[in-house]
Structure 1
Amino acid sequence: MEWRNGVYLEFEELNLIDLISERHVQLRSICEQLWNDRHDIYISNSEWFIMARIYKRNPTISQVTRQVDISRQATHKFIKSLESKGWVEITKAQNNKKEKCLKLTSLGESSYEKNALIKASLEQKIMDALGADQVALLKQLLQADWGTLNEA
């Protein structure tokens, strides 16, 4: 990595959208690598993303599919993969015979929580580098109402 005045040169010319995207990809990659270095079971970023939609909830497969920006077929594949690893349980919905509900198993929940600790550690490293006030401001800006962006 080449830096100038505290700015990574590859990011210097990026607009806001691409800069957020690049940092997102970088952070997700670091989280995935940290998990895979410490555990025997490989979990992809897409699987973590799906698990986040299931954690402490009991959504249907179709609800999860609508919430993630992954094709329906790929979402089903990831859910089946999580089930085969023993992290997700698939059950029939009570009020609809066609629908199936998802729930993390105890192994899935504990793994999700271990991964949350990895992310918290990474967030602390970001705070150490940027300062707690800067990270708090960034979080506040990202959580703020940005108005109607679809009209752009």
Structure 2
Amino acid sequence: MIDLISEKHKQLRHTTMSKIAQQLDDKFSEMDIYLLSLNQHTSMSLSESARYMNISRQAVHKHAQYLTSLGYIEVTTSEANRRDKMVTLTDAGEVLGSKIAAIKAQLEAELEKELGSENYQKIIGLFRSQWHLPS
């Protein structure tokens, strides 16, 4: 089952990135999209983003620099902790985030149609539930 879930995740990621590449002008990596999505609704530090993304702070900084150069995010010093750098979406970043969310919603609707609404909702429920796995 673990390998099946991994394979489906890989297929979904590939399809999502292909649709994003087709519909958007700029070129983005999966991590660029992930960083934008993480910070779409609330500002997060680069360190927090790195932990969520499971990559190094240096790697997240590289993606942040790229997105900053395109004008989609701003990186500022945290008022609470001067060592933390906060990621904030610019207006262009908000628009881009909305476009990405729309692409994902479209793919989810297609998936629900393919699987059937009842099966789709069961899968959503299973993934949202708490799994008590041994460490």
Taking structure 1 as the reference length, the TM-score comes to 0.83
Match of 1:63 in 2: 48
Match of 2:70 in 1: 85
Structure 2 regions of 5+ residues with no counterpart? none
Q: Deviations over 1:12-68 (max 9, x none)?
A: xxxx11111111111111111111112211111111111122112121111111221
Equivalent residue in structure 1 for 2:23, among 32, 38, 43: 38
Q: Deviations over 1:100-142 (max 9, x none)?
A: 1110111111111111111111111111111011000000001
Consecutive aligned runs of 4 or more in structure 1 exceeding 6 Å deviation: none
Cα deviation, residue 150, structure 1: 4.5
Match of 1:133 in 2: 118
Equivalent residue in structure 2 for 1:118, among 86, 103, 107: 103
Match of 2:60 in 1: 75
Match of 1:13 in 2: none
3-state DSSP class of the match of 1:90?
A: strand
- Give the whole-Å Cα distance in 2 for the aligned partners of 1:131 and 1:138: 11
- Give the whole-Å Cα distance in 2 for the aligned partners of 1:65 and 1:39: 25
Equivalent residue in structure 2 for 1:143, among 128, 131, 134: 128
- Give the whole-Å Cα distance in 1 for the aligned partners of 2:26 and 2:117: 33
RMSD: 1.2
- Give the whole-Å Cα distance in 2 for the aligned partners of 1:17 and 1:75: 27
Structure 1 regions of 5+ residues with no counterpart? 1-15
Question: Which amino acid in the other structure matches residue 123 of structure 2?
Answer: L
- Give the number of the structure with larger relative contact order, counting CA–CA contacts within 8 Å between residues 6 or more apart: 2
Is 1:106 the counterpart of 2:96 in the alignment? no
Is residue 46–residue 57 contact of structure 2 (8 Å, CA) maintained in 1?
Answer: no
Equivalent residue in structure 2 for 1:95, among 62, 80, 89: 80
Question: Which amino acid in the other structure matches residue 103 of structure 2?
Answer: I
In the comparison of the two structures, how many residue pairs are matched? 135
Taking structure 2 as the reference length, the TM-score comes to 0.93
Query: Which structure would you say has the larger Rg?
Result: 1
